[in-house]
Amino acid sequence: MTEPMVKAHGVRKHFGPLQVLKGINLEVDHKEVVCLIGPSGSGKSTFLRCVNHLEKIDGGRLYVDGELVGYRQENGKVYELREDEIADKRAEIGMVFQRFNLFPHMTALGNVIEAPMRVRGIKKRDAISQGRNLLDRVGLADKIDEYPARLSGGQQQRVAIARALAMEPKLMLFDEVTSALDPELVKEVLDVMRALAREGMTMIVVTHEMIFARDVGDRVVFMDDGVIVEEGPAKQVIENPREERTKQFLGLVLEH
């Protein structure tokens, strides 16, 4: 049995007196697409940020590819990793945010090649070749020399996905990546994510796009108030949820 790509056991997180995650247990297998759904404030994005240690957990254990996130265990004790060790681990996990966070002074290609050269020490010539291929893969071969200000929101988000893929991650995290986009631009971003899923990329996707979750997700996890209320095969959870709270949420979301 291989270890799951992500394994959360009793994960807790609080900000001051507010407990945002109340003991999350979740496993994500290699090549699996898991969609996290639920109302705003339910802890979905916080959990995603814990997976790559942008937030430290306050309790429980969180593993990526069999290794503790942010810590190492020796002789029964847990020690926090140094910042450079954390950065090395984080480089193996691609994350795409709601806001594109592109460098405005760099072209699309410049944004994509920066991290591979800086973090992984890839030669510029090789990084450019890889960057061109990735921008072609997300449908932006004709935009490599454009600056972010000249790109639509959907194009900027596709550059952000290409930038994350440039680090050759073993896991991709998507945090509400379409919620800042105009409706007509949403499809072009989701299509790139569909293609990644077909190629076997392991993905955790926080989303309000229920059709995408149903069609592309292997499993859907419904979170509310810091706990997992329901999880199961994507089609079953979206079309025939068991829990009353899931039914209420989907009833509201699918009406719109």
pTM for the model: 0.93
Q: How many CB atoms lie within 10 A of CB 68?
A: 18
Would you write out the chain's pLDDT as a tens digit for each of its 256 residues? 578 999 999 999 999 999 999 999 999 999 999 999 999 999 999 999 999 989 999 999 999 998 888 888 888 787 888 888 888 888 899 999 988 889 999 999 999 999 999 988 999 999 999 999 999 999 999 999 999 999 999 999 999 999 999 999 999 999 999 988 888 889 999 999 999 999 999 999 999 999 999 999 999 999 999 999 999 999 999 999 999 999 999 988 876 5
Q: What is the pLDDT of residue 255?
A: 65
Dist. CA 31–CA 197, nearest whole Å: 8
**Would you state the pLDDT for residue 198?**
93
- Give the pair of three-digit tokens for residue 156: 């900027």
Q: How far apart are CA 36 and CA 45, in angstroms?
A: 9
Rounded Cα–Cα distance for residues 109 and 173 (Å):
22
Distances (CA, A) of 168 to 28, 154, 177: 19, 22, 19
Cβ 96 vs Cβ 157: under 8 Å: yes
Neighbours of 40 (CB within 10 A): 9
- Map residue 8 onto helix, strand or coil: strand
Q: H helices within the chain, ranges in order? A: 44-51, 83-90, 108-119, 124-137, 153-165, 183-198, 210-216, 234-239, 244-255
Residue showing tokens 């056991």: 9
Give CA–CA dist 207/30, Å, rounded.
Answer: 20
